[in-house]
Amino acid sequence: MQVGEEWIYRLRESAPSERVRILGIQPKKTSARVDVEFVADGRRENVPGSRLRRLWAEVDAYDALMAKWARIEFELTDAEDGAASEVFDNLIPAAVATCEWSPVRHATAVHDRSTLERLLDADLDAVLDGVPSFDLDGIMMVSPEGTLRIAEVMCARRPADVLAWVLAEEAEIRDKCKRGSPTRDLSGHERTTSPECEYEWYLKSDKPRHELLRQWCGHRAVTFHERLTAAEAEVRRLDILVARLIDSARVKGDGTFADIMEEEHNKERITPDKVRPIPDRPLSPQEIPVREVPVRRRWGY
């Protein structure tokens, strides 16, 4: 900025552009305050430098760009906001696509379209059918509505990963709802929140986000994951119970029976490689092992 230049002034991103002339600049540590004169009515104000967007000569191009941003604006709920952010942070690399914060919150910038389509296992045009977007210097900018669609398809593509971190977070929250959580107040002193406050925050913020993530994963994926988790927990419970019974038998002096049961329990354990039907290569005659079966000799032959 230079004194005497004319710039575009906008009170907010969505406000109309106004023509101002710079009268003075007061630099600050991280920004600046600027004395300006509004050309239309002659009033003078001291304004933050961030409200001056570009030189007035570029007003047509700037207004056209802001009109494109306004066209893709779409407001998300807090649950949608949190769920979409979590999916992008955990499953979509920043080099492929990112959620933007300004001027439209949660618009998606698609940097690598082909990689994103490979991650989604879907055509991006089909996913974003009817969603407004525009090209910004070679980068596809997508409405927040499209951000939700991308997050939903990503959850359906990788439900196990999503449900795993949801369950891990719920386990942590469950502990907080029992004992509270250590934190610091505004003065820096350590304190512990109450279980009631943690549960209230869970109902208000975490639960809607978790349920939305589960909805995106699909009923079948959620049911399968919950049944698998329950089965693994039941196997662990029975494994501990068997170990206790074997130890009890050994303590009571029946060591032979305990050893046999322990060996059988470990040897006949059902594992994924035993359940999965893996087709084997047919053996050639010379590879077939020879089994010698002893028989009683019959006299006279």
Same structural domain, 76 and 146: yes
Same structural domain, 81 and 153: yes
Please check whether residue 58 is in contact with residue 184, taking contact to mean a CB–CB distance below 8 angstroms: no
Joined together, the tokens standing for residue 225 give 């994951």
Mean pLDDT lowest for which of 44-48, 158-162, 240-244?
240-244
Q: Does pLDDT of 123 surpass 60?
A: yes
pLDDT band at 280 (very low <50, low <70, confident <90, very high): low
- Whether 168 is covered by a domain: the verdict is no
- Whether 115 is covered by a domain: the verdict is yes
Over residues 249-260, the mean pLDDT reads 88
Task: Give Cβ neighbours of residue 152 (< 8 Å, ≥ 6 apart).
Answer: 216
Q: What is the pLDDT of residue 288?
A: 78
- Whether 36 is covered by a domain: the verdict is yes
Determine the Cα–Cα distance for residues 101 and 112; give it in Å rounded to an integer. Answer: 19
Which range of residues forms the domain containing residue 240?
224-267
Q: What is the pLDDT of residue 177?
A: 85
Q: Which helix (H) or strand (E) holds 108?
A: strand 108-110
Joined together, the tokens standing for residue 51 give 């409200």
- Whether 179 is covered by a domain: the verdict is no
Give, in order, the Cα–Cα distances in Å from 81 to each of 3, 13, 88, 261.
42, 20, 11, 54
Same structural domain, 136 and 108: yes
Answer with the one of 112, 138, 157 that is the final residue of a domain.
157
Same structural domain, 86 and 38: no
Please write the tens of the pLDDT for every residue from 189-226. Answer: 888 888 888 888 888 999 899 989 988 988 776 677 67
Q: How far is CA 217 from the centre of its chain?
A: 12
Same structural domain, 109 and 42: no
Same structural domain, 25 and 78: no
Please count the structural domains in the chain.
3
- Whether 16 is covered by a domain: the verdict is yes
Determine the Cα–Cα distance for residues 179 and 124; give it in Å rounded to an integer. Answer: 45
Same structural domain, 82 and 43: no
Over residues 81-110, the mean pLDDT reads 92
Question: Minimal CA–CA distance to 78: which of 207, 189, 198?
Answer: 207
Same structural domain, 54 and 131: no
Q: What is the pLDDT of residue 299?
A: 67
- Whether 63 is covered by a domain: the verdict is no
Answer with the one of 157, 176, 199 that is the final residue of a domain.
157
- With pLDDT > 90 as the criterion, what percentage of the chain qualifies? 41
Q: Which residues pair with 190 in a beta bridge?
A: 184
Determine the Cα–Cα distance for residues 98 and 91; give it in Å rounded to an integer. Answer: 11
**In the chain, how long is the greatest CA-to-CA distance?**
132
Joined together, the tokens standing for residue 13 give 């991103």
Same structural domain, 45 and 96: no
- Whether 75 is covered by a domain: the verdict is yes
Q: Does pLDDT of 297 surpass 80?
A: no
How confident is the prediction for the chain on average, in pLDDT?
A: 87
Cβ-count burial of 262 within 10 angstroms (0-12 exposed, 13-18 middle, 19+ buried)?
Answer: middle
Reduced to 3 states (helix: H, G, I; strand: E, B; else coil), residue 111 is coil
Q: What is the CATH number of the domain that holds 39?
A: 2.30.30
Please check whether residue 25 is in contact with residue 1, taking contact to mean a CB–CB distance below 8 angstroms: yes
- Whether 196 is covered by a domain: the verdict is no
Same structural domain, 88 and 150: yes
Task: Give Cβ neighbours of residue 60 (< 8 Å, ≥ 6 apart).
Answer: none
Q: Does pLDDT of 99 surpass 80?
A: yes
Alpha-helical runs (H) found in 135-286: 144-157, 159-179, 195-201, 207-217, 219-251, 255-267, 272-275
Over residues 116-139, the mean pLDDT reads 93
- DSSP character for 281? P
Secondary structure (DSSP) of 1-66: --TT-EEEE-SSTTSPPEEEEEEEEEE-SSSEEEEEEETTT--EEEEEGGGEEEEGGGHHHHHHHH
